[in-house]
Amino acid sequence: MRLRNVKNKEEILQSCSLLVQNPQTYRGHWHELFANDQPIYLEIGMGKGDFIIQNAKLHPDINYIGIEKFDSVLARAIPKIPIDLKNLRIIRMDARFIEDVFDHEISQIYLNFSDPWPKKRHAFRRLTSPEFLARYDRIFQDEKRIEMKTDNAALFTYSIETLSQKGYGLFEVYLDYHEQVENIIMSEYEQRFVQRGQKVFHLFAKNR
């Protein structure tokens, strides 16, 4: 996917009070930043922010953190965030380094339309690869909870296999999510796929 540049993107990022500039300093202390003990939900690859912003608005009793590695994408998400949305923070980072930022303090992870990395030699980069699931082990607080949505059937099948091998129980497994569930909070990608009539795959995985 080609990313279009955003004029004044650095100015947009630097002026956002909810963008955490040095996230490593909060490792193990994110509850102190939020000034409460509410559960923390993490979206890996938040894109333009539609999904996580809507969730934060609807669930003030949950703290949300979105991570995104592309500056231009974050610069498009930031203007959508209400100034008074206190239970949301965003981080500019690559997901490979989440262990440097979190330490057994995440209650749930969202994986929305992650890059499928279709070539076999790139499988370790998939966000449900054994390598990433091992990283998640070290950031989950207690019970491990992952909610995933994708339009890619091969990635969905792969994820079912890797999660099952890791000991996760699978729930709410849908091969056509929008056909079976109502009132769904959608990411910008999801809105596009639904408009095209494409199927969205969904699963919720738990592991103690």
Q: What is the 3-state secondary structure (H, E, C) of 71-92?
A: HHHHHHHHHHCCCCCCCEEEEE
Q: For the chain, which residues make up each domain, given as ranges? A: 9-207
- 45 sits in the region (left: phi over 0; alpha: psi -120 to 50; else beta) called left
Distances (CA, A) of 25 to 57, 68, 75: 26, 18, 23
Q: Which candidate in 84, 94, 115, 142 is catalytic? A: 115
pLDDT at 111 over 50: yes
71 as an active site residue: the answer is no
Higher pLDDT among residues 164 and 208, named by residue: 164
Supply the pTM of this predicted model: 0.93
pLDDT at 83 over 90: no
9-207 is classed in which CATH architecture?
A: 3-Layer(aba) Sandwich (3.40)
pLDDT at 101: 98
**Which of 17-31, 117-131, 186-200 shows the lowest mean pLDDT across its residues?**
186-200
pLDDT in tens, 35-61: 999 999 999 999 999 999 999 999 999
SS3 7: coil
